[in-house]
Structure formats: C-alpha cells, structure tokens
C-alpha cells in the first residue's frame, strides 16, 4: 500500500483546483476547454503514487 493513499484526499485536490483556476486566469487554459466538465465529478488517479484526486 502506498503511503500517499493513506493521506486525506482534499489537500491535493484543492491544490489541483487552485492550479486550474490560476491557469484559466493566466490564459494558459481557456474556460471553453473546461466547460464540458462543469457540473461533473472528475477523478484523476496516479496509481504509481497511490493518489486519487476528485474535483466536483
């Protein structure tokens, strides 16, 4: 079992959410590119690290 899998999920998920918001504000990602995800739950899993992030 990976150590990171034992840690709470919200700090990395919050960091990813803030990074996506900063990318939108910085013009790196357009709002239109993320529009299909609006209102959906998105899960990213890095199985080699044992980390799963959920954004809603």
* Secondary structure class of 22 (helix, strand, coil): helix
Contact 54/13 with Cβ under 8 angstroms? yes
Q: Of 19, 23, 14, nearest to 56 (Cα)? A: 14
pLDDT of residue 56: 81
pLDDT of residue 43: 86
**Phi, psi angle pair for 21, to nearest 5°:** -65, -40
7-40: per-residue pLDDT in tens? Answer: 676 788 888 889 999 999 999 999 999 999 899 9
pLDDT of residue 4: 65
Distance of CA 7 to the CA centre of its chain: 16
pLDDT of residue 21: 92
* 8 backbone φψ class: left, alpha, beta (φ>0; ψ -120 to 50): beta
């Amino acid at each position: 079992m990976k150590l990171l899998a034992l840690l709470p999920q919200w700090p990395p998920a919050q960091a990813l959410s803030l990074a996506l918001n900063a990318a939108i504000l910085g013009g790196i990602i357009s709002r239109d590119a993320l529009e299909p995800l609006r209102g959906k739950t998105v899960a990213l899993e890095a199985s080699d690290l044992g980390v799963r992030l959920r954004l809603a």
